[in-house]
Amino acid sequence: MTDGPLIVQSDKTLLLEVDHPLSDDARTAIAPFAELERAPEHVHTYRVTPLALWNARAAGHDAEQVVDALVRFSRYPVPQPLLVDVVDTMGRYGRLQLANHPAHGLVLNSLDRAVLEEVLRNKKIKPMLGERIDDDTVVVHPSERGRLKQTLLKVGWPAEDLAGYVDGEAHPIDLVEDGWRLRDYQRLAAQAFWAGGSGVVVLPCGAGKTLVGAAAMAEAGATTLILVTNTVAGRQWKRELVARTSLTEDEIGEYSGERKEIRPVTIATYQVITRKSKGEYKHLELFDSRDWGLIVYDEVHLLPAPVFRMTADLQSRRRLGLTATLVREDGQEGDVFSLIGPKRYDVPWRDIEAQGWIAPAECTEVRVTLTDNERLEYATAEPEERYKLCSTARTKLPVVRAILDRHPDEPTLVIGAYLDQLESLGEALDAPVIQGSTKNKEREALFDRFRRGELRTLVVSKVANFSIDLPEASVAVQVSGTFGSRQEEAQRLGRLLRPKGDGRQAHFYSVVARDTLDTDYAAHRQRFLAEQGYAYRIVDADDLLGPKLPEVG
């Protein structure tokens, strides 16, 4: 028995004592195979899941490493059944392998005949398979490669895909490292992706995921389809690629609501691809419009279901997913694993911060007491209306203004989810509002003014959650969110993490109505960042902002 920071329980939960001197080492050791569930002040709760173990296995970690991490950091003897289960679960990955057969094309090979017999009798799997070649090999219909991987994952026998990839249409792309160089972790991320052929790279916001994509494109030397969250993000990709690679503007096409250009490198938005016309996704044909050698999914944690379905047909193409967090609130992490690929590279946010590549950040939750009228309105509201009521309470307005007064000379984003609240904030703060209906031209003009320092404050909706490069922003005030979305919280903090020229710290405030759903959802949203080592300081609005604030509402 040792005095370790970890308590390993037989139900596969891990309790990590945050204040223990070895807690950071333990967190790093368990991160590849354990998922954070709860993160209060002193003890964080992780869970070991089959998907996390298979992701670790696909990334090159074996059961011996997992067992060693648990035993080494555990305060008490690790339950023996749990260790057996870890070994057995990780051993399930790769007993079935997809491969290319010289005579029969795509086949499913078994390293365990009983497993093959089991899946052959599954009613969902059998139609995807063809003739039995021998006791351990069965033909797979090529069009079913992705769906077969999805289904095998769901029945607990994740297949290792060794079938390889087509090179696609060649197109020369070189990195032009003129006055800059790929950072070590960017180079390692690109190499890890290329070694696996497909998969996901997880890096903090502001850590240069676009350059990892560019390095992968240079390695592929082929036509590339890049999928992004919105047109502004797509144009940022284009600017970066023109600046950092041998590609010219004429070689890069934009496929959006405004333009329909298909070029050797084409940047398309998820919105236009998933837009329906007469009940059909007519733009999905974009995937077949060229012989793509590489498909890049930016912000892969947001992948819409129709793009998942099309991706199932693209298993012979190399696929790179880029994200700051693999958390999906819809629970479809398994689809990312089976259709895009396993996590190939991941670096804790604090490690990148320690290297000086992202700004240090202080996270503060400011708890606001609602007025008697607001509390009564909340208490008597229908359940489905309560979150909007408490998160948009007008009592938050003077709190936001007072926070901005604490940072008078710092570029600040005020972020929310409800348009009427954002309009009120824009009016109260005399700041422009950017939301979904704001034209791209106006958005880009406002973002440019903010970058140049002509605007100190921007009020933004969730359109600014993703892929918007605002390196000058050093303060963010979150007033409402998409319920308890962990990935949204991470993306919002990410707007602040570009390194500041003077090395100053970033400040992330979340203004929350106490004794309401707002507090509950805030706790859920913070879980991912807590896993990355960010601690939220909880303060009372009155204590933080001085004399009692005037009541509003």
What residue has token string 């993000």?
233
CA 540 centroid distance within chain: 31
Q: Is the pLDDT of residue 230 over 50?
A: yes
Q: Tokens 């290792």 sit at which residue?
A: 160
Q: How far apart are CA 395 and CA 54, in angstroms?
A: 47
Assess if CATH 3.40.50.300 describes domain 359-545: yes
Q: Which CATH architecture has domain 184-349?
A: 3-Layer(aba) Sandwich (3.40)
Rounded to an integer, the average pLDDT of 527-534 is 71
Mean pLDDT of 395-420: 91
Question: Does the pLDDT of residue 543 top 80, yes or no?
Answer: no
State the pLDDT at residue 40: 62
Res 511 pLDDT > 80: yes
Greater pLDDT, 58 or 218: 218
**What is the H or E stretch that residue 252 is in?**
strand 252-255
Q: Tell me the three state secondary structure of residue 280.
A: strand
Q: Give the model's pLDDT for residue 1.
A: 45
Indicate if the pLDDT at residue 108 is higher than 50.
Answer: yes
Domain residue spans of the chain: 6-92, 96-161, 184-349, 359-545
> Does the pLDDT of residue 114 top 80, yes or no?
yes
- Asked if pLDDT for residue 229 goes beyond 60, the answer is yes
Mean pLDDT in residue range 255-269: 91
pLDDT of residue 553: 39
518: tokens are 């707002």
Quote the CA–CA distance of 243 and 228 in Å, as a whole number.
Answer: 19
- Convert the pLDDT of each residue in 341-390 to its tens digit: 988 888 777 778 888 888 888 888 899 999 999 999 999 999 889 889 98
Q: pLDDT tens digits for 65-104?
A: 999 999 999 999 999 999 999 999 999 999 999 999 999 9
Whole-model pTM: value is 0.79
Mean pLDDT computed over 29-48: 80
Q: Could you tell me if residue 179 is left (phi over 0), alpha (psi between -120 and 50 degrees) or otherwise beta? A: left
Check: CB of residue 365 under 8 Å from CB of residue 540. Answer: no
Q: Compute the average pLDDT of residues 507-532.
A: 83
- From 189, 146, 503, 445, select the one nearest 321 (Cα to Cα): 189
Residue 257 confidence (pLDDT): 83
Q: How confident is the model at residue 41 (pLDDT cuts 50, 70, 90)?
A: low
Q: In the predicted model, what is the mean pLDDT of residues 161-185? A: 93
Across the chain, mean pLDDT equals 87
DSSP classification of residue 354: H
pLDDT-derived band at 308 (thresholds 50, 70, 90) equals confident
Question: Quick check: do 184-349 and 359-545 share a fold?
Answer: yes
Pick the more confident residue, 403 or 522.
403
Burial status of residue 489 (CB atoms within 10 A of its CB: 0-12, 13-18, 19 or more): buried
**Predicted local confidence at residue 330, as pLDDT:** 62
Q: Which residues contact 25 (CB under 8 A, 6 or more apart)?
A: 73
**Burial (0-12, 13-18, 19+ Cβ within 10 Å), 54:** buried
Distances, alpha carbon 282 to alpha carbons 276, 285, 485, in Å: 7, 6, 31
pLDDT band at 252 (very low <50, low <70, confident <90, very high): very high
Average pLDDT in the 174-194 region?
92
Strands 294-298 and 224-228: parallel
Tell whether the model's pLDDT for residue 549 goes beyond 50.
no
Banded pLDDT at 6 (limits 50, 70, 90) = very high
Q: How confident is the model at residue 105 (pLDDT cuts 50, 70, 90)?
A: very high
In the predicted model, what is the mean pLDDT of residues 455-483? 79
What average pLDDT does the segment 143-164 reach?
Answer: 93
In whole angstroms, what is the distance from residue 243 CA to residue 431 CA? 32
Q: Which two tokens stand for residue 163?
A: 């079938």
Burial state string for 67-76 with b = 16 or more CB within 10 A and e = fewer than 16? bebbeebbee
| 329 pLDDT above the threshold of 80 | no
Q: What backbone phi and psi angles, to 5 degrees, belong to 313? A: -90, 0
- Mean pLDDT, residues 241-252 taken together: 96
